[in-house]
């Protein structure tokens, strides 16, 4: 019986996902990685391993600037590792060093979502410190974050995927199709992506 080798096993490509909190970076990234047979890494997860507590607690005790320093080190490290898919934190693009590391060393996909869609998806979220600290109006907070960051995501990314309300399955297919068209990963020989 033959061994099935995933289409991109062995590729040195790094595919990274940027976008607002709640845009689906981790979920879509994990599925894209699985489909390509590549490891998946999540910078927030690596940061939490490093700081030894939740990002929320770290924000509270050390402040945002200290968090951004750790994030910058982690982004620098993951963009030097060959062959994987990486989901970044929503604020990673705030530092120019991160924009450059992502843009120069990886193929960046921006999962774009409107503040209204994000507010709907995040209405029960209690983990994201930037959305907790506000005047009780998450939509207003998301609108102002989006206004500041949308140009930064666009500047960093090679592809922009409008997420709207499609399923994870179709988002994963859109990302894979863009990567194939750009020649970043080989064209899949088999049928489309199985339902996640
Ligand atoms: C942040 C987003 C979070 C996390 C941290 C800061 C931000 O990641 O990195 O709470 O500035 O938008 P997600 O985008 O995965 O929520």
| pLDDT tens digits, 21-74 | 999 999 999 999 999 999 999 999 999 999 999 999 999 999 999 999 999 999
Burial of 2 (0-12, 13-18, 19+ CB in 10 A): exposed
| DSSP-derived secondary structure for 17-65 | EE-STTSSHHHHHHHHHHHHT--EEEHHHHHHHHHTS-HHHHHHHH-HH
Q: In the predicted model, what is the mean pLDDT of residues 155-168?
A: 91
**CATH number of the domain bearing residue 161:** 3.40.50.300
Backbone angles phi, psi at 86, to 5 degrees: -125, 130
What is the pLDDT, as a whole number, of residue 194? 53
189, part of any domain: no
Specify whether the backbone of 22 is left (phi greater than 0), alpha (psi in -120 to 50) or beta.
left
Q: Does residue 196 register a pLDDT over 90?
A: no
Tell me the CA–centroid distance for residue 186 and ligand 1, in Å.
Answer: 31
Residue 137: what pLDDT?
81
Task: Identify whether 6 is part of a domain.
Answer: no
Residue 5 belongs to some domain of the structure: no
Domain assignment of residue 187, yes or no: no
* Residue 195 in domain: no
Is 17's pLDDT higher than 90?
yes
Structure tokens at 158: 């090679």
| Per-residue confidence (pLDDT) for residue 178, from 0 to 100 | 93
Q: What is the reported pLDDT for 1?
A: 42
The residue whose CA is least distant from atom 12 of ligand 1 is 90
Give the Å distance between the CA of 188 and the centre of ligand 1: 32
Q: What pTM was computed for the model? A: 0.90
pLDDT tens profile 104-158: 999 999 999 999 999 988 888 777 777 776 567 888 889 999 999 999 999 999 9
pLDDT band at 191 (very low <50, low <70, confident <90, very high): very low
pLDDT of residue 12: 73
Per the rule left: phi > 0, alpha: psi between -120 and 50, beta: everything else, 21 is beta
Q: Which residue's alpha carbon is at the smallest distance from atom 10 of ligand 1?
A: 128
Nearest CA to ligand 1 atom 8: 89
Residue span of the structural domain in which 30 resides: 14-181
Residue 33 falls inside a structural domain? yes
Residue 42, ligand 1, Cβ within 6 A:
no
Nearest CA to ligand 1 atom 2: 90
For residue 134, being part of any structural domain is answered with yes
Q: Which residue has the higher pLDDT, 92 or 182?
A: 92
Work out how many domains the chain is built from and give that number.
1
Report yes or no on 190 lying in a domain.
no
Is the model more confident about 136 or about 196? Answer: 136
Confidence of residue 86 (pLDDT cuts 50, 70, 90): very high
């Amino acid at each position: 019986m033959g061994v099935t080798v995933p289409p991109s096993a062995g590729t040195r490509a790094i595919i990274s996902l940027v976008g607002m909190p709640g845009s689906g970076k981790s979920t879509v990234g994990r599925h894209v990685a699985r489909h390509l047979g590549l490891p998946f890494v999540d910078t927030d997860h690596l940061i939490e391993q490093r700081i030894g507590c939740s990002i929320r607690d770290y924000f509270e005790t050390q402040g945002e600037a200290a968090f951004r320093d750790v994030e910058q080190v982690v982004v620098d490290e993951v963009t030097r590792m060959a062959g994987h898919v990486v989901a970044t934190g929503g604020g990673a693009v705030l530092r120019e060093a991160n924009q450059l590391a992502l843009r120069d060393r990886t193929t960046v996909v921006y999962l774009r979502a409107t503040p209204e869609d994000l507010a709907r998806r995040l209405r029960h979220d209690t983990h994201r410190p930037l959305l907790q600290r506000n005047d009780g109006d998450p939509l207003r907070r998301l609108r102002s974050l989006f206004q500041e960051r949308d140009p930064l995501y666009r500047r960093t990314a090679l592809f922009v995927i409008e997420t709207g309300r499609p399923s994870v399955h179709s988002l994963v297919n859109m990302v894979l199709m863009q990567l194939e068209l750009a020649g970043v990963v080989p064209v899949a020989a088999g049928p489309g992506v199985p339902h996640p």
